[in-house]
Structure 1
Amino acid sequence: MIKPFALQEGDRVAVIAPAGPPDKKQLIQGKRVFEKMGLDVVIGRHVFDVEEDLVAVDQKRLADLHEAFCDPAVRGIFCAGGGFGTARIAPMIDYAKIQRNPKIFWGYSNITYLLNAIQIFSDLVTFHGPMVASDLNDEQRTVGTESSFLPLFTGESLAYDSRKSPLITLAHGTGEGRLVGGNLTLLTNGLGTPYQVNTNGAILLIEDVAEPAFRIDTMLTHLNQAGVFDAVEGVVIGNFQVEPDEYAKIKKVLQDFFVCAPFPVVENFHIGHCQPNFGVPLGVKAKLTASPPRLVIDSGVI
């Protein structure tokens, strides 16, 4: 896969909102965090636009995406926040144009649909990580979340073990392959479409937010019956952002579902709708071990 160039101090980055307009105050706070990193931040023309007409909304979101990728001065593209609707614009994206202009594309949650689509059709490494308004605002931001952006400058590989969060092994073994995945709901929604995640020989990352245990069970079963787990090399389970009582039910679902897995499965990574929220590149080589639990990921930039 194509790796984008690393960031340098003084580089220009664009903030866009493919999944919906962010809170303006929170976006400005997140923008200041990027500026403290030495980056020149530009905001997409339509980031705050609100339209009742979905056709107009999609065209504006698409325009910001294309403009950011085609602007030679922009070295990275960061999504403002989550929301809904990215699946609608996926068929309209000019993936050849993105492939000719590779650069960092970063987001998560509903952005998962675009992370996978761009990987599949542009052969570009994408990044699952904290977003400008929803994660870098003054109320939510943590030092750990901010540190997620450092590898974009240094080009270093990432290593995640129990020093970052107490990892729990659900199935033993060692697996190596491309890291793919993202939000479980969006991965399930992509089944049977041209944007379905390719898990053959891959390490699959899953996370979600505010979904009850029965929905997690339903989605995992759907993925399983669609063959998603047939050739995976491992599963990385991120955060599910639910109340403790519901998470206890989700843990039981995960334990029962993966108890006989022939590949390593490790949970409790602070990846997803949580703080800290650690960013990871998707589409690059990763290694997951269960004893001790540890995830090592190649750099996503060159």
Structure 2
Amino acid sequence: MLAKALKSGDTIGIIAPSKPFSEEKQFELDNFIEYMKIHDIDVLLSEHFYSQEERDIGSVSAEKRAADINAMFADKNIDAIWCFQGGDPANQTLDLIDYDVVKNNPKLFLGKSDIDVLLLALNKITNLVTFHTCDTKIGSNREMDFDYTKKWFKERLFEKSKAVEPSGEWICVNEGEAEGRLLGCNPISILKLAGTKYFPDFTDSILFVETYKSNPRETRVHLTQLEQAGVFDKIKGVVVGNNFEFFSEGIKAEEVIRDFLIKYNFPILKVNEFGHYQPHAFLPIGAKIKLDATNKAVDIIEDFLN
């Protein structure tokens, strides 16, 4: 199921289904809204965007956060839904989302980090292609500050370009080629879905992964959990993104991943175009891609927007 591409005059709804909004982020949100105006895009904040409830330690209840998701999908004046930021508790909303409303009103749904929980769950339950993207923030070296991100915001979401271009050097970690549906991204978020009906079917997929303030020990633990869930017996390749503040002496995250996965002998490519505080390529979750690790190339090979 595909959403419509963005166009001049559209309206983006911004929600906060995970970590709550905080006042010090207001200038970053204001900058984002001003940037949307350049593209003739209006912005509407969800009903509970600024709300906080002490009993939820600063966040509003799961019921209210889910209500914002449902309302944005139901609102005929909203063309896309973009999550303000990640955090931790997005999975609390999953059983409260009206998936029939989503199916009847397919829209662009964007976010990253803890929001990967929603991106994957919406794709699993409704087959909606969702998008792993940056936060709705500009300033303080955020993802949307990069010229690359701004370029692909336009080319991917408006023009429906299928290209994935490097913003820096790509590294072949393990040679090979594969095609499959793109699924990911943060291992912690993926594992929050394990054992639930929202856990993706990784059969013949390409897994893309990034980490945030992790280390070799934690990364191996998460890889082991994914292995025990049967993920690596099903996938056809891996794309590794940015691993922000990977705490290690002498070993990189992609090397930890390579050493763990080498026995599977599928292609692994290290890129830079998704993750925290990195340029973003606006990757479509659920769309089919071609991975050529040997020649360091990634291409989207089917339509991902109407």
Q: Which residue of 2 aligns with 1:255?
A: 258
State TM-score, norm by structure 2.
0.92
1:56-67 equivalent positions in 2, closer than 5 A = 56-67=60-71
Q: 1:257 to 1:99 in 2, by over 3 A?
A: same
1:2-17 equivalent positions in 2, closer than 5 A = 2-17=1-16
Q: Which residue of 1 aligns with 2:81?
A: 77
Which one-letter code corresponds to 1:284 in the other structure?
A: A
Fraction of identical pairs, as percent: 31
Gapped regions of structure 2 (runs ≥ 5): none
Match of 1:183 among 179, 182, 186: 186
Residue 89 (1) aligns with residue 100 (2): no
Following superposition, the deviation at residue 52 of structure 1 comes to: 2.1
Looking at structure 2, the residues matched to 243 and 236 of structure 1 have their Cα atoms a distance apart, in angstroms, of: 17
Gapped regions of structure 1 (runs ≥ 5): none
Q: Which residue of 1 aligns with 2:150?
A: 146
Looking at structure 1, the residues matched to 259 and 186 of structure 2 have their Cα atoms a distance apart, in angstroms, of: 20
Residue 236 (1) aligns with residue 265 (2): no
Q: Is the 8 A contact 2:62 2:92 kept in 1?
A: yes
Q: Is the 8 A contact 1:171 1:290 kept in 2?
A: yes
Q: Which residue of 2 aligns with 1:50?
A: 52
Q: Is the 8 A contact 2:175 2:268 kept in 1?
A: yes
Q: Is the 8 A contact 1:129 1:148 kept in 2?
A: no
Match of 2:160 among 155, 160, 169: 155
Looking at structure 2, the residues matched to 129 and 110 of structure 1 have their Cα atoms a distance apart, in angstroms, of: 12
SS of 1:259 mapped into structure 2: helix
Q: Which residue of 1 aligns with 2:287?
A: 284
Looking at structure 2, the residues matched to 73 and 13 of structure 1 have their Cα atoms a distance apart, in angstroms, of: 9
Looking at structure 2, the residues matched to 138 and 147 of structure 1 have their Cα atoms a distance apart, in angstroms, of: 19
Looking at structure 2, the residues matched to 246 and 85 of structure 1 have their Cα atoms a distance apart, in angstroms, of: 31
Looking at structure 1, the residues matched to 239 and 68 of structure 2 have their Cα atoms a distance apart, in angstroms, of: 32
1:199-278 equivalent positions in 2, closer than 5 A = 199-243=202-246, 245=248, 248-278=251-281
Q: 1:271 to 1:299 in 2, by over 3 A?
A: farther
Q: 1:94 to 1:207 in 2, by over 3 A?
A: same
Q: Is the 8 A contact 1:213 1:247 kept in 2?
A: no
Q: Which residue of 1 aligns with 2:33?
A: 31
Q: 1:145 to 1:244 in 2, by over 3 A?
A: farther
Looking at structure 2, the residues matched to 88 and 217 of structure 1 have their Cα atoms a distance apart, in angstroms, of: 26
Length, aligned pairs only = 297
SS of 2:212 mapped into structure 1: coil
Q: Which residue of 1 aligns with 2:134?
A: 130
**Root-mean-square deviation (Å):** 1.7
Following superposition, the deviation at residue 174 of structure 1 comes to: 0.8
Following superposition, the deviation at residue 199 of structure 1 comes to: 0.9
Following superposition, the deviation at residue 56 of structure 1 comes to: 4.9
SS of 1:205 mapped into structure 2: strand
Following superposition, the deviation at residue 20 of structure 1 comes to: 2.1
Looking at structure 1, the residues matched to 249 and 222 of structure 2 have their Cα atoms a distance apart, in angstroms, of: 16
Looking at structure 1, the residues matched to 210 and 34 of structure 2 have their Cα atoms a distance apart, in angstroms, of: 28
- Superposed CA deviations along residues 209-246 of structure 1, whole A, max 9, x for unmatched, are 10111000110011112110112111111111015745
SS of 1:149 mapped into structure 2: helix
State TM-score, norm by structure 1.
0.93
Q: Is the 8 A contact 2:164 2:298 kept in 1?
A: yes
